[in-house]
Structure 1
Amino acid sequence: MSSPHSAIDVRPITESEFPDWIRAVNTGFLREPIPSESELEARRAQFESGDAGRYLGAFDNGRCVATFKSFPQELTAVGGAAVPANAVTGVTVTATHRRRGLLTRLMAHDLAAAKERGDVVATLIAAEYQIYGRYGFGPATWMTEWTVDVPRTGLDPRRSGSPEDGGRIDLVDGEDVRKLGPDLHERVRRAQPGAVSRDEMWWRVNTGVVRFEPSWREPHYAVYRSAHGEVEGLVSYAADDNWHGKLPHDTVSVQWLLAATPAAERALWRYLCSIDWVTKVKSGWRAPDDLLPFVLPNPRAATATTQGDWLWVRILDVVRALEARTYEGEGSLVLEVVDGDGLTGGRYRLDASEAGASCTPTRQDVDLTLDVGDLAALWLGDESAVRLAALGRVREGRAGAGRSADALLRTSRRPWCPDMF
């Protein structure tokens, strides 16, 4: 006899069900449930241009009560290799249907398909911390948001807006950004572990060609060119209009900032802090070891207002994941990877050096036993095996194995994902 839970149908949606799927997404994220015509049109364009089979829904008596979507993505591993990723987004369960295993069924369907396709990892940005660890995801990158008190930066307002290296900053429009941005982003993300790919739709949405809401406000865009004329940086930002007692107190909010060189990054931050009337600059999502506080003469003028986990990674193929990245040291590790979903668990020997790495199944004695989610946190180089052992999440089979793992896996700069998806 079937239970009421199993009677709920979990499957890819049809084209006619798309508006109901969007309604369920909006309901789950506590937005106005009925989409506007502009939102429906924009999101339908995404649906029609992608793989409709990766839009999943749970249906109870014909009504969509849970949603799940994935799309193809590339994730930059340590060293610059791009690995195929299954990016997860649009995950909701309607409040009336919680605790019925719907997310588990949706996730199992999607991850099995990703494994079959040959994706090395799955990725997501977690709205809630406690949900995704049970599906083998681990927090692999973190982010910090800064608020800069401009009058306290110590920057000379007569000089800080002009780059000191012979480069220049110019204001541009959205059409220029769509021309210049994709190439710059490719250069940036190839050098940044944890960064993900952006498709053409990303640039259209983020420059207002495709608008989910009629309230879209055109941001400001600035480009940094080196002394040789090379485009090395772009920033998108919005400004409010806030005066008190005939004095300006405007805030600039950075939507995104890309810099291929430290010179470009320094120049763009100093430019933003030099705009007339602006007394605060909000950085948006930045790497936790960003240059921002220290490009200012007084780093205390920048206050960290948000710090937290960002990109979560679920490894689907241990061998390909560990062989894709580079290693600054040389050594071997035997890892016992525990995967409750049975997608990629087992015992593996990693042999790594600056020349490359090999990862093979083995029966040798184990150095470290860890969950697949904790392996994901170590894989991009941000987490410490010694710290995870202290937390009881990694078990050492050999004394000092955690230190050996850190020497192989940790990176000099922290991984970072600039994107929300």
Structure 2
Amino acid sequence: MRKLDKNEVIDAVRLSEYAFQYTVPKEELDDKIQRYREHEIWGDFEADELAAKLHLINFETWLAGKKIKMGGVASVATYPEHRRGGRVARLLRNGLFEMKQKGQTISLLHPFQISFYRKFGYEVLNNWKKVELKVEDLKPLRAVSGKIRRVELDHIFEVLNPVYETFAARFNGMLVRTENWWKERVYSKGFRFATYTNEEGNVTGYLSYKIENRKLEVEEMVCTDGEARRGLWNYLCQHDSMVERVTILTNESDQLTFLLANPKVKTTVEPYFMARIVDVENFLKEYPFTIKADETLFLHITDDQAEWNNGSYLIDREGVRVFKGDKPNAACAHPPKRGLRCNINTLTSVLTGYQDPYFLYEAGLLEGAEDDVVRLQSIRSTKETNFMDFF
């Protein structure tokens, strides 16, 4: 197992083509190789042949209103003759170590199968919601005083990213988008963009959408206030003579459909991305707990894949103190008399905000005294999780 050299990146492309069942057109191959060279690609080899691979990508993500380092895991693939031999497990464990060394305290990935990645400490981060509408559902809401403008592609980053960042900071898990990410991943899909500008001249919302075969697909509807939501929706309604169907992708708690004349529309909610804490000690140290002066909380964590996380962590106003057991996989030297016990999956779910601590307590995934569960609920971030990108 080792990192691929730049001249071996083509082998990673060929493995991706085989595993994910697509072919890179010849005229796009150089661009694909260049994008892959921006990744840290680890391979597991059979002699000199690439048998399996995993890509590590350097990102940042939003957590409780601040940006933190995040390691993206992508393009995990194995040739069929090398599957079920533990190669991907080795690559994932190595990936966790490499991310820890780079100070990336959390990792995100898109799973081909949730149960597979749960074995490696990853847990569901967010749900996406798809709303499917008919043309008769396109009824405008109350009029607004702002303006809709379609945006030229050359100005996407400078115009849209400030709106996106305002919106993204309201959630846990959102990707911090760079200018290159906007250019290469957000507006390279053939989508159109439109903004809502209020009376004060501030852009407070935008749409990413496309129209094909009388179908309107809204990839992103980002609104920083209700006026922008109404304005953008009213703009979509003006396409009623051009389309027969409309789909809108959004976050699970978005309440746009409540505002419609007929809110009873087809809605699909599914888990999307997964996350896992890579380095518990440093993640807890940068996590913005809202803890009172006299409050303390012990967390006893087990992690089968990253032994450096096994231990007991005392959280108080002074910060985080760590207690390790004598054995590498022991949460603490003696059975804990107080505090909460859980594995890395549950800790990730609680601290990202995807699941409520009391629900996990009732499910038996979070163990300890009930008053400690209440305390954990009160000191963690209450922001909803969301993720709108793909890698």
Distance 2:91 2:256 in 1: 40
1:179 Cα deviation after fit:
3.4
- Choose the corresponding residue for 1:409, options 380, 383, 388: 380
Q: 1:275 and 2:239 equivalent?
A: yes
Matching residue of 1:65: 51
1:327 Cα deviation after fit:
4.7
Matching residue of 2:319: 358
Q: 1:13 and 2:22 equivalent?
A: no
The answer on whether the counterparts of 1:382 and 1:410 sit within 8 Å (CA) in structure 2 is no
Distance 2:143 2:284 in 1: 42
Question: CA, structure 1 residues 295+177, in 2 after alignment: closer, same or farther (shift >3 Å)?
Answer: farther
Consecutive unaligned residues of structure 1, counting only runs of 5 or more, are 1-9, 210-215, 242-249
After superposing the two structures, state which structure 1 stretch, 316-325 or 101-110, moved more: 316-325
Distance 1:96 1:63 in 2: 12
The answer on whether the counterparts of 1:225 and 1:232 sit within 8 Å (CA) in structure 2 is yes
TM score, norm. by length of structure 1: 0.82
Letter of the 2:266 partner, please give it: T
The answer on whether the counterparts of 2:216 and 2:246 sit within 8 Å (CA) in structure 1 is yes
Distance 1:208 1:221 in 2: 9
Question: CA, structure 1 residues 69+335, in 2 after alignment: closer, same or farther (shift >3 Å)?
Answer: same
Aligned-residue CA RMSD in angstroms? 2.4
Distance 2:255 2:221 in 1: 12
Distance 1:383 1:233 in 2: 28
Question: CA, structure 1 residues 230+399, in 2 after alignment: closer, same or farther (shift >3 Å)?
Answer: closer
Letter of the 2:384 partner, please give it: R
Distance 2:28 2:179 in 1: 18
The answer on whether the counterparts of 1:337 and 1:372 sit within 8 Å (CA) in structure 2 is yes
Distance 2:281 2:353 in 1: 16
Letter of the 1:69 partner, please give it: H
Distance 2:285 2:232 in 1: 36
Letter of the 2:124 partner, please give it: P
Distance 2:33 2:355 in 1: 39
4+ residue segments displaced more than 6 Å = none
The answer on whether the counterparts of 1:273 and 1:281 sit within 8 Å (CA) in structure 2 is no
Matching residue of 1:112: 97
Q: 1:81 and 2:45 equivalent?
A: no
User: How many pairs are equivalent?
Assistant: 376
1:257 Cα deviation after fit:
2.9
Consecutive unaligned residues of structure 2, counting only runs of 5 or more, are 324-331
The answer on whether the counterparts of 2:127 and 2:386 sit within 8 Å (CA) in structure 1 is yes
TM score, norm. by length of structure 2: 0.88
Question: CA, structure 1 residues 410+181, in 2 after alignment: closer, same or farther (shift >3 Å)?
Answer: closer
The answer on whether the counterparts of 1:115 and 1:343 sit within 8 Å (CA) in structure 2 is no
* SS across alignment from 1:31: coil
Distance 2:353 2:222 in 1: 22
1:205 Cα deviation after fit:
2.2
- Choose the corresponding residue for 2:153, options 156, 174, 178: 174
1:235 Cα deviation after fit:
1.4
Letter of the 2:348 partner, please give it: A
Identity %: 21
1:17 Cα deviation after fit:
1.5
Letter of the 2:42 partner, please give it: L
Matching residue of 1:128: 113
Q: 1:201 and 2:165 equivalent?
A: no
